[in-house]
Amino acid sequence: MPAVPGVAVALVGLAVLFAIASPGFLSPGNLSNILVQSVILLLLALPMTLIIMTEGLDLSMGAVLTLASLVLALIVVATQSLVLGLLGAIAVGLVFGLANGWLVAVLGIPPFVATLGTLGAAQGLALIVSDGQSVVGIPRFVRQVYSGEMAGIPTPILIGAGFYALFHVLLYHTRFGTYVCALGGNRDALTLAGVRWRPLLIAVYMLGGATAGVAALLMTARMNAGHPTAAIGMEFDAIAAVALGGTSFEKGNGWIFGTLLGVLTVGVLRNGLNLMAVPSSVQVACIGALVIFALFLDGMRSQKS
């Protein structure tokens, strides 16, 4: 497990900066809001951690989340069934995860190129199924998934905690997690051991798609609608969070807790900029700078190792 004090320093530093610039930043309500709003990004960053550990990348995740959210909204509005809507969203994620995994593992297409192609496909399908319009009329029971509480804890936080625990166990306490590390660090050893690594790599991408499908439920509930451009570009936030958290783009090194800290860092940055009424265009530039900084840190770690 790599030691990454930098992400903790960045998180605390940003929190102090925004606390000084905006007195309301440290209010209990705003801190709770940061946690709740960070859950969707966490659901993307957790599987992105595993994907990057395999020396892969998934640029389609934000577009797949958008398409899954639209499909969920359309199904729920038509059937009034949350279960069917969620299953539809997860199915969308699984299909694109399978496509990404097949392109990378079987055809040998570089992950950047493969997922850039599926990104375009997901964006196009999102515009087609929605006719470029928002899907409204979301039932109240869907909205309660995002606004509800259990034992005084917001439901999204409980969902995020559950998925964090799941990925922690999956990576550190199962054979699958051991194989994921080997996929990025020593793929030849898997082959010599008789392990079929291609199905494993496909499974990693499918896991990312399925988790994006679950995130679509929170996205739809949060926005009270399905929007054809809702999560476009969100994959870059996820990549920034993972890189900030200490997961390396080579050698199969990853840190789930670091990813959580990275997600909170991105969440604090976005929230603080919103409180300061910073224009959205500047916010995008700040996130871009954060991505570059995260990649710079990864490069420095690689040189030291």
Is residue 223 in a domain?
yes
The fraction of the chain above a pLDDT of 70, given in percent, is 94
What is the Cα–Cα distance from 126 to 131, expressed in whole angstroms?
8
Length of the chain as a residue count: 305
What is the Cα–Cα distance from 147 to 124, expressed in whole angstroms?
30
Task: Decide if pLDDT at 185 tops 80.
Answer: no
Is residue 180 in a domain?
yes
Q: Into how many domains does the chain fold?
A: 1
Quick one: average pLDDT of 277-296? 80
Is residue 250 in a domain?
no
Is residue 236 in a domain?
no
Is residue 25 in a domain?
no
The answer to whether residues 241 and 45 touch, using CB atoms and an 8 Å cutoff, is yes
Q: Which of 61-70, 106-115, 217-226, 283-292 bottoms out in mean pLDDT, i.e. has the lowest?
A: 283-292
Q: What letter represents residue 185's amino acid? A: G
Is residue 26 in a domain?
no
How would residue 244 be classed by pLDDT, with cut points 50, 70 and 90? confident
Quick one: average pLDDT of 147-164? 95
The answer to whether residues 269 and 289 touch, using CB atoms and an 8 Å cutoff, is no
Is residue 248 in a domain?
no
* CA separation, residue 247 to residues 4, 160, 174, 188 (Å): 9, 20, 19, 21
Task: Decide if pLDDT at 26 tops 80.
Answer: yes
Tell me, what's the pLDDT at 23?
84
Is residue 5 in a domain?
no
Tell me, what's the pLDDT at 282?
86
Among 216, 220, 182, smallest CA distance to 201 is for: 182
Task: Decide if pLDDT at 3 tops 80.
Answer: no
DSSP state of 25: G
Quick one: average pLDDT of 103-129? 96
pLDDT digits (tens, 9 = 90+) for 260-279: 999 999 999 999 999 998 88
What is the Cα–Cα distance from 208 to 200, expressed in whole angstroms?
13
Domain interval for residue 140: 37-231
